[in-house]
Amino acid sequence: MQRQLGRTGIQISAMGLGCWAIGGVLWEGNDAVGWGEVDDRDSIAALRRGIEMGITFIDTADNYGAGHSERVVGEAVRGLREKVVISTKFGNTFDEATKQMKGGNATSEYALKACEASLKRLGTDYIDLYLFHLNDCEPSKAPQIMEVLESLVQKGKIRCYGWSTDHPDRAQVFAQGEHCAAIEHDENIFVDNGPMLELCRRHGLASVNRAPLAMGLLTGKYSTARPIDDKDVRGSRSPAWMRYFQKGAPSAPFLKKLESIREIITSNGRSVAQGSLAWIWARSHSTIPIPGFRNEKQVIENVRAMELGPLEQEQMTEIEGILASLRTS
């Protein structure tokens, strides 16, 4: 399966590898906003296996693991750079030594500095897709950010850009940019951002989908009895915005929804994760889910979802009916 990266004409795999989890530990004050301890050897092996299996899109960010994810990606693609399209993000400041987030910075000066730092960590001389990472930044500040991003395109530092935001009014501003190619936003069976999908369709942008497996809940492997490390963003020290897991346990309402549709999404021999990705591909022709991973086994399972393709429209309609009934019950 292939998708086009917005208006660029660049063809990429219909699924990417999301590299937040392989960044490891990250904190925002006392809140865990990383995924706990990681083994870089496992991460590199998983990335390379995905590339071997046909994945050509890798998504990371400068603050994942306070720069660590970018370094791991850079190591994994050494000698393979021409085979992959790399997306990374900027806007969040951090301290690499303490693994602490330090707040957002939406200035043009910082964007230029952040780009150079990411290029160095990734070990490359260009970034394919450069995403503004401040979800809630005021739309009025977007034009100055777009201006500096257009200048980075002209300098050959980046090929195209976009915004990682769940707000269509913010995405609408960036959509006017000549070299804007994508909007990254939450999209999964539980959280469907229809207005953003329509905006991407209308403007010919790629819809890059974070949390396609609801932070792991849509793998079907979590229950209320399974403990989660307190260094994990889903654990007992999770931030207030974590909706899929609460106090270190998966959300009971989401688990109920999953059980109600499990039989449909696991049709044709799919796993829960594969069925959840199939739902996203059926939702729009522009969607590119970027499930996270920790090891080769997870990457293999997710990549094989592409062989099975999207769900049928009848299945999509049935799922919508079931979930709608739960919302009104």
- For 107, which DSSP code? -
pTM score, whole prediction: 0.96
**In this structure, what token pair is assigned to residue 160?**
């195209």
E strands, 252-296, are: 287-289
Where b means 16+ CB within 10 Å and e means fewer, 181-218 reads: bbbbbbbbbbebbeebbebbeebebbbbbbbbbbbbbb
pLDDT number for residue 222: 81
Q: What is the DSSP letter of 127?
A: E
| Token pair recorded at residue 204 | 């010919």
Where does 138-289 show beta strands of DSSP type E? 158-164, 180-186, 206-210, 245-246, 249-250, 287-289
Torsion sign across C-alpha atoms 209, 36, 227, 269? positive
Per-10-residue mean pLDDT of the chain, 329 residues long, equals: 96 98 97 95 98 98 98 98 97 97 96 98 98 96 96 98 98 97 98 98 98 96 76 92 91 94 96 98 98 97 97 98 85
260/112 Cα distance (integer angstroms): 48
Domains of the chain and CATH, by start: 2-328 (3.20.20.100)
